[in-house]
Amino acid sequence: MTQSNPLRLVYEDDELLAVHKPAGLLVHRSPIDKRETEFALQYARDLNGGQHVYPVHRLDRPTSGLLLFAKDPEVARLLGAQMMAHEIYKTYLAIVRGWPEEQGTVDYPLREEPTDRRLKGQTMAVQEAITDYVRLGISEIPYKVEGYPTSRYALIALYPRTGRRHQLRRHMKHISHPIIGDANHGRGRHNRFFAQHFGEARLFLASVGMSLTHPLTGESLVLSTAPEASFARVATAVGWETLVTEPLPLSQ
């Protein structure tokens, strides 16, 4: 490829490759957009000297942050087993509407969402879904977005215990604190306000931390990354600069 690689290397050894994926980039080819020609998988392969890599987990197209690949199919299988056993712990950062409680747990089952839009409307299974969250900072800005003279927002850390499709976005909607920029589960007025006022029309959800056991050495591996510039710029404008530059704990 002649263009620059949009992935930022976070960690690499003989078996693993961890990168920071920007918002807007698909991980791999998907029914979501059959016309797309660029994928994180391709760029990760370039970082691996053109050799195959195997994605260990999902990261939605509009979500930025940590993305882990295995360099070997057996390593990918071992990490997949850790993922299924809920032994890989992830930390996300999000900007949400309103002021949620200082900390809490959303234990709310979710109906499985098909990855292929052509299957939308079919009856899908309901699955257990649990998310812990911690409120990191709050802000009240002097702009009327809905029916109040000011608007309240919060920066939160999210710790999913399960890995359902769009779990974090759907759980925050469920407790009436939707993630800003979420076109499917958010509030349009607040999304448009952030896009117009701050100049960033994106989903404010970022994968910033991951803890796992190295599949071959058995050692604990902790990965972390700062949110990308577009996220950090808005967080700084709202007053949370130090909160998005310091590493977050990997569990509630």
| Biggest CA-to-CA distance, the chain | 57
Task: Kindly state the percentage of the chain with pLDDT values over 70.
Answer: 89
Catalytic position from the list 13, 60, 116, 132? 60
Residue 250 confidence class, pLDDT cut points 50, 70, 90: low
Q: Which amino acid is at 132?
A: D
* Composition of the chain by helix, strand, coil, percent to 5: 20, 30, 50
Nearest to 180 by CA among 165, 163, 164, 197: 197
Tens of pLDDT, residues 14-36: 999 999 999 999 998 765 666 76
Active site residue 60: yes
Split at pLDDT 50, 70, 90, the class of 1 is very low
Separation of alpha carbons 227 and 245, rounded Å: 8
Element (H, E) at 73: helix 73-84
Task: Indicate the angle between helix axes 229-238 and 188-198, nearest 10 degrees.
Answer: 90
Mean pLDDT to the nearest integer, 138-151: 93
Alpha-carbon distance values, 89 to 38, 99, 103, 247 (Å): 28, 25, 18, 15
Q: Which residues pair with 152 in a beta bridge?
A: 140
Show me where the domains of the chain are located.
8-242
The predicted pLDDT at position 123 comes to 59
Mean pLDDT value of segment 233-252: 81
Q: Of 167 and 113, which is predicted with more confidence?
A: 167
Distance (Å, rounded) from C-alpha 228 to C-alpha 218? Answer: 30
- What the block records as the tokens of 7 is 């992935």
Q: Which residues have CB under 8 Å from 241's CB, separation 6+?
A: 232, 235
- Report yes or no: 57 and 80 within 8 Å, Cβ to Cβ: no
pLDDT digits (tens, 9 = 90+) for 29-58: 765 666 767 899 999 999 999 999 999 998
Residue 117: is its pLDDT beyond 70? no
Q: 111 or 2, which is more confident?
A: 111
Q: What is the pTM assigned to this prediction?
A: 0.91
Q: How deeply is 243 buried, as exposed, middle or buried, from its count of CB atoms within 10 A (0-12, 13-18, 19+)? A: middle
**Which homologous superfamily is 8-242 in?**
Pseudouridine synthase (3.30.2350.10)
